[in-house]
Amino acid sequence: MTLSNESWLYGITCAGLWVAVALLAVATPPGGRRWWSGAVLVGALTLAAQFIPGELPRMLLLDGAELATVALIWLTGTPRAQHAAGLMLALLLPAMAALGGVFVLAGDGTVPAYPLDKGVAALFIVGWGLKLALIPFYVWLPGVAEAAPPLTTALLVSVVDIAAFGEWRAMRTTVPWLFTDYAGLWLALALLSMFGGALLALAQRDLKRLLAFSTIDDLGYLVLGTLIGTEVGLTGALLGALAHGLFKVLLFGAVSVAEGRLGTALTLDRRGLVARYPAAGAAFIVGALGMLGIPPTFGFVGRWRLYLAGAQYGGTALTLALVAATGLALLAYVRAIHRVWLGAPEPEVPAGEPKLAVVVLVVLMAAALGLGLVPVGM
């Protein structure tokens, strides 16, 4: 698959997911006109980055989309949201500066002379670690997820971050030495993100924070596939990233519907919500299955390739590590589904879901299951 084809694929996916978030926002409004202005700006910058020629313009447009997302979080207006936006900005600005330095010093793919090559590698690893919220650079993402409306976070992790991941993945070809010469560090970041994200997800009571840590967990798999760099690994990372965006919209969309009706944050203290909000409950369950890569969801299409690439790269030990990390993530999702969605409903919980939200979630679930049945070549 050529870079041009990948750009179209990322562009179409980002546009489709943005439309889904926008329709959910009509049904469960996360804000007023200022929110819509910010959301349109985020979508426009992200989409433009997929089609404009040149790595530097694409990088600048994606940086602009991330800064627009910071403003969108700030506009939530609560002290907690503004603190989260401030922390995100304080960490993303150095990341952007670091990656700008990488572009200036090694953007043409050449390896700088020693010891400058070490400095460039450090800027590259720290810059992308902060941008993608890999462990141990993750500190801004859980606070954002908890404080911002669910659909704002959906825009961030399903549209902006996945587009940024596509740019990082493309650099596997343009500056391969920053991956191969530091494979041990990238492998450590991938495994830390898988296990740390899953374990921290298990520790959460707030569902939006749980979904933030599950995002970190899933990015670990995508980083691993890109690091391995084989056809199966890169294809797995590409398909896994597209699936990640789809299933995160499902998950945060389900939370948005429930929180919109409840008027409070969705935590593990709730019970039996699927009886009151069946479409949202089904969407959350399908989203969880997809994030875990369970067939026949679209998540399986990329995840099994990542397992195969891991087995080829690290043998039995790495394969068992991937299985163990998936098992931890499974426990986190099962805990959330069992505690929040299943069982007898609480009598004081209002019933009913916005019809538009139901339609959007059903269409997304159909896409999640239908795409899992479409044959995809390596």
Residue 201 has pLDDT above 90, yes or no: yes
Lowest mean pLDDT among 13-22, 273-282, 340-349: 340-349
pLDDT at position 4, please?
56
Handedness of CA 35, 41, 47, 50 (dihedral sign): negative
The two three-digit tokens of residue 304, written as one number: 């099994």
* Cα distance between residue 317 and residue 352, in whole Å: 48
pLDDT at position 260, please?
93
**Residue located via tokens 């313009």:** 57
SS3 206: strand
- The mean predicted confidence, pLDDT, of the chain is 92
* Cα distance between residue 217 and residue 283, in whole Å: 20
Residue 3 has pLDDT above 50, yes or no: no
> What percent of the chain is modeled with pLDDT above 90?
80
* Cα distance between residue 246 and residue 153, in whole Å: 13
Q: 53-63 pLDDT, tens per residue?
A: 888 888 999 99
Burial class (CB in 10 A: 0-12, 13-18, 19+), 22: middle
Q: 204-218 pLDDT, tens per residue?
A: 999 999 999 999 999
* Cα distance between residue 361 and residue 24, in whole Å: 8
Residue 6 has pLDDT above 80, yes or no: no
Lowest mean pLDDT among 82-86, 103-107, 151-155, 263-267: 103-107
pLDDT at position 50, please?
85
Please, are residues 151 and 252 in contact by the beta-carbon 8 Å criterion? Answer: yes
> What percent of the chain is modeled with pLDDT above 70?
98
The number of beta carbons lying within 10 Å of the beta carbon of residue 9 is 17
Within 13 A of 241's CA, how many CA atoms are on the CB side?
Answer: 29
Please, are residues 342 and 272 in contact by the beta-carbon 8 Å criterion? Answer: yes
Q: 20-54 pLDDT, tens per residue?
A: 999 999 999 998 899 999 999 999 999 998 888 88
pLDDT at position 348, please?
83
pLDDT at position 2, please?
42
pLDDT at position 168, please?
87
Q: What's 126's DSSP letter?
A: H
pTM reported for the whole predicted model: 0.94
pLDDT at position 272, please?
92
Residue 1 has pLDDT above 60, yes or no: no
pLDDT at position 376, please?
64
* Cα distance between residue 162 and residue 165, in whole Å: 5
Residue 101 has pLDDT above 90, yes or no: yes
